[in-house]
Structure 1
Amino acid sequence: MTTYTRARPTMMRVFLVQTAQGLTPSSGGYKANVSLLRSLSMQGHATAQICYAVEDEIDQYARRAELKGISPNITHKPLPVVDPAGKVHELYVKTFTDEYKRDELTSRMATLINLFSEHIASFQPTHVIFNDPITMKITESHEIRDTFKRINIIHTAEQLPFGPFVAGVDGHCLSPVVENKMLRELDGIWSVSKAVQDYAWKYGRLKTTFLVHPCMTYLDQTSGGMPRIRNNIDKEEIGMVNPCPHKGLSILIALAQKFPHMKFVTWKSWGSRTAHVQQLQALPNVKIEPTTRNTDEIWDRVKVLLAPSLWYEAWGIVVTEAQLRGIPVIASNAGGLPEAKIGLPYCIPVKEVTGERHANGDYVVPDQDIGPWEDALQKVMTDREEYQALQILTATKAGEWLRSLDPRAHEKWLLSMMEQA
């Protein structure tokens, strides 16, 4: 049995269903989910999450908890699962407590609905938070449904069951009609940007609450303090994360071809398929790195970050992360990226995807005017005075922005639901 953190009656007990692969996923949205739990835990609330992990991650997290004097209380038990062919597989489910006293439950299959229900019941939450339709359905008729609030986090427009981007990403919005009804029965819906909030209202007349990601999302993950500002003026590489068509792969390729003397480096992520990697491999001035969960590897290396996204970005956490470290970002104005840019140069207009898709499901990507991108990159990479001034401005304004956020905004919102009840 899992040992859960005991809470005073006035505490919240927040249970998160995390659908990313790994305890430290590279996706910005899932990083924000984890940061929410860490913030609430540090504010005195009991928290837990159910997620998918690999064995070495569990050992690493347990060791970190022990170093802080917290017993990880690792337990494990076999769980028989029947596949579609009728064959029984025995999986092992582990539970443990991490360094933030946040209880963890790890598994390797996304179809363990009974397991989800069991651990929600065991934890006795005041709030269940999720961003997937399966959990929304599970909690709709859960045996202790009347004892907790249900909150959905909207990380992408594709999650919503209406509008031009409905079901535009695999695994999002499995049944639009059913999900549209269920969304309107929730206790809270968190939009991570004004862009997503506006989209939900424009296409679905769905009211949501806009909250910027928890402050901890952007703090240094080791020290818990403000990120270390880099001085990368003498670095040579131009970076991009998650190269794929709707993230602006065509713009990256055009820039690499235009400036063969410049060095580019990309980090693969969830959208990068074999075909996209092969396009980049054909360019001699582009390096391709595997997915990294340690973004310091990126910030220690790049002089400039490109974020040429062409889809309706919810926010763009990587943009804000770079700017907090004094690294200039050349981004598009798609979706919520102008919000992530917080008014800093450069934010370049693009022709966004419209929702039209190819036969294979990929978005049809419009041709782009590459001229503004060429001008911005040329200036930042070759004009030292321009770079130095932009570096200082970027670090200063980004730091001021982060310090201006209310670190208890999410806590207050969740507590207000209990007060209304």
Structure 2
Amino acid sequence: MKLLLAQNASYYPALGGANKSNRTLMEALSRLGHECRVVSTALVNSASEQDQRGVGEIEVISSSPEVSVFNLKGVAIHAVKVRAAMDSARLKDYLIRQMKEFAPDRILISTEDVGHVLLEAAVKSAPSRVVYLARTTLYLPFGPDCFLEAPDKTELLRKAAAIVVVGDYLKDYMWQWAKLKAEVLPISLFGDGPFPDFGNFDKGYVAMVNPCAYKGISIFLELARSFPELSFAAIPTWGTTSEDMKALMELKNVRIFDPVDDMNKLFCQTRVMLVPSLWAEAKSRTIVEAMLRGIPVLASDVGGNPEAKLGVEYVLPVNPINGYKQAVDERSLPVSDIPEQHIQPWQEALRRLLSVREHYEDVSRRSREAALDYVENRGGSRRVEAFLLNLQVEAENTQQSDLVPAVKENTVAQMTDKLTPAQKALLALRLNKKNQSRGNDQ
């Protein structure tokens, strides 16, 4: 298949969980033999744009004032140069051109699409090819956890061929607030391992990625003040503001690290991971990544965090964010009033973990076992591939007047010629089942 992913965010480096998950997914599908292309953003003269140069694994194809094109692990990335993070008009125009030029079999639109302009362009062009990857509740156009309700944008989602979500929390949210059906698939991949065991009772940081209002920086700061004898680590990414940075730098026991693409460089120095999110996380990637490496995680009881914890303590109470103002901060992110938090449950959990060796090592072991079992037994990229192949078969057997460009009679043959033997066998099996079903209905 020819697969096109579009997101209003940087593809490389990927500093947010959703963007990193998109990248690992595309790389995995490329390894399965599919032709993968990405349309993403690159801020002009930003660090991310510079990082796309001079890196050994990146093959630069071309660069112009409009876009940088490079290959990374079998995926062709078209990084559209924008002047601001929310400059979506240029990105939309480029996506429209790529849909015509590349003629993808599937168009994957990520939730990281402010204003849903990429979704709108894709649905207008070829709705039966659009798969919406729902990863972030904030950017959905409906429900209590979104920034801005937009019924017309919700209707765009009804026209997509499928909606895929990272977990049951988001699946239930889709149905409860918009009556949209969604498929839970392993679209957040964690690599093939092996995953080193970094659990260490004796040393390391109490760490937090992306300390900001949404993610619960208020809890992180209060814990750092409560335990001056402990070393804390903060890794600022997309949500951290200048005010957040100032608060972090005022504490002597907090060390600030630059964000890294290889999370092992962080995890090898981490004793406990904090994920005190106050917004409704769809399903925190950081939780599973840390648990895979035997690092105990203290996570908030909001959104999909309990699901990500896989039944292992600690899931701790917070007063969650309740709605957003019609304003944005210096990072062009929605502003919200942050409720006062009760820090005592967090203090007690951290104190127990770091004062009782047997307890720490037990939680470390069970965290690692649960995460390894989760990763190994959910189907991975093969399951996503099967879903996309089945959608393609259904699209080829459905008469769509609004499919642009129109499906040609030989499209299936052209597509199957590029499949591996295993992929052809899967396709044949699904076609056989479909034909048998039709025979039973007649």
TM-score (normalised: structure 2): 0.79
Q: Indicate the residue corresponding to 2:138 in structure 1.
A: 158
Q: Indicate the residue corresponding to 1:179 in structure 2.
A: 153
Deviation at 1:289, TM superposition (A): 2.3
Deviation at 1:107, TM superposition (A): 2.3
Residues 23-55 of structure 1: per-residue CA shift (max 9 Å, x gap):
121100011111111121111211111123455
Q: Secondary structure at the match of 2:8?
A: strand
Between stretches 335-344 and 247-256, larger displacement belongs to: 247-256
User: Is 1:14 aligned to residue 3 of structure 2?
Assistant: yes
> Where does the alignment leave 5 or more consecutive residues of structure 1 unmatched?
1-11, 66-71, 79-90
Within the candidate set 338, 344, 347, 1:374 is matched to: 347
Deviation at 1:411, TM superposition (A): 0.9
Between stretches 270-279 and 305-314, larger displacement belongs to: 270-279
Does the Cα contact within 8 Å between 1:23 and 1:52 map onto a contact in 2? no
Q: Indicate the residue corresponding to 1:38 in structure 2.
A: 27
Q: Indicate the residue corresponding to 2:358 in structure 1.
A: 385
Q: Indicate the residue corresponding to 1:125 in structure 2.
A: 104
Between stretches 115-124 and 228-237, larger displacement belongs to: 228-237
User: Is 1:300 aligned to residue 265 of structure 2?
Assistant: no
> Where does the alignment leave 5 or more consecutive residues of structure 2 unmatched?
43-47, 83-87, 329-333, 396-442
Deviation at 1:390, TM superposition (A): 1.8
Within the candidate set 303, 306, 320, 1:338 is matched to: 306
Q: Indicate the residue corresponding to 1:218 in structure 2.
A: 190
Q: Indicate the residue corresponding to 1:83 in structure 2.
A: none
Letter in 1 for 2:375: L
CA RMSD of aligned residues (A): 2.1
Deviation at 1:194, TM superposition (A): 1.2
User: Is 1:134 aligned to residue 117 of structure 2?
Assistant: yes
Letter in 2 for 1:166: C
Q: Indicate the residue corresponding to 2:40 in structure 1.
A: 51
Q: Secondary structure at the match of 2:289?
A: helix
Deviation at 1:140, TM superposition (A): 2.7
State the distance in 2 between where 1:103 and 1:59 align.
15
Does the Cα contact within 8 Å between 2:37 and 2:76 map onto a contact in 1? yes
Within the candidate set 74, 89, 108, 1:111 is matched to: 89
Q: Indicate the residue corresponding to 1:8 in structure 2.
A: none
Does the Cα contact within 8 Å between 1:356 and 1:363 map onto a contact in 2? yes
State the distance in 2 between where 1:177 and 1:185 align.
13
Q: Indicate the residue corresponding to 1:363 in structure 2.
A: 336
Residues 126-156 of structure 1: per-residue CA shift (max 9 Å, x gap):
00011221111212333xx37x610111111
Q: Secondary structure at the match of 2:146?
A: coil
State the distance in 2 between where 1:397 and 1:94 align.
41
Does the Cα contact within 8 Å between 1:165 and 1:355 map onto a contact in 2? yes
Does the Cα contact within 8 Å between 1:23 and 1:51 map onto a contact in 2? no
Give the alignment of 1:267-346 within 5 angstroms. Answer: 267-346=235-314
Letter in 2 for 1:48: R
Does the Cα contact within 8 Å between 2:199 and 2:296 map onto a contact in 1? no
Q: Secondary structure at the match of 2:68?
A: strand
Does the Cα contact within 8 Å between 2:271 and 2:295 map onto a contact in 1? yes
Q: Indicate the residue corresponding to 2:229 in structure 1.
A: 261
State the distance in 1 between where 2:226 and 2:165 align.
38
User: Is 1:196 aligned to residue 170 of structure 2?
Assistant: yes
Does the Cα contact within 8 Å between 1:247 and 1:310 map onto a contact in 2? yes
State the distance in 1 between where 2:71 and 2:223 align.
46
How many equivalent pairs are there?
A: 374
Q: Assess, with a 3 A threshold, how the Cα gap between structure 1 residues 418 and 359 changes in structure 2: closer, same or farther.
A: closer
Give the alignment of 1:224-235 within 5 angstroms. Answer: 224-235=192-203
Letter in 2 for 1:125: P
Q: Assess, with a 3 A threshold, how the Cα gap between structure 1 residues 350 and 358 changes in structure 2: closer, same or farther.
A: farther
Q: Indicate the residue corresponding to 2:431 in structure 1.
A: none
Between stretches 224-233 and 298-307, larger displacement belongs to: 224-233
Greater than 6 Å deviation, 4+ residue runs: none
Residues 73-98 of structure 1: per-residue CA shift (max 9 Å, x gap):
7234x4xxxxxxxxxxxx14332333
Between stretches 350-359 and 334-343, larger displacement belongs to: 350-359
Between stretches 25-34 and 195-204, larger displacement belongs to: 195-204
User: Is 1:417 aligned to residue 391 of structure 2?
Assistant: yes
State the distance in 2 between where 1:245 and 1:106 align.
29
Q: Assess, with a 3 A threshold, how the Cα gap between structure 1 residues 358 and 350 changes in structure 2: closer, same or farther.
A: farther
User: Is 1:397 aligned to residue 370 of structure 2?
Assistant: yes
Q: Assess, with a 3 A threshold, how the Cα gap between structure 1 residues 45 and 232 changes in structure 2: closer, same or farther.
A: same
State the distance in 2 between where 1:279 and 1:96 align.
38
Q: Secondary structure at the match of 2:246?
A: helix
Letter in 2 for 1:313: E
TM-score (normalised: structure 1): 0.83
State the distance in 2 between where 1:33 and 1:194 align.
19
User: Is 1:75 aligned to residue 62 of structure 2?
Assistant: yes
Does the Cα contact within 8 Å between 1:151 and 1:187 map onto a contact in 2? yes
Letter in 1 for 2:142: F
Give the alignment of 1:233-252 within 5 angstroms. Answer: 233-252=201-220
State the distance in 1 between where 2:93 and 2:271 align.
48
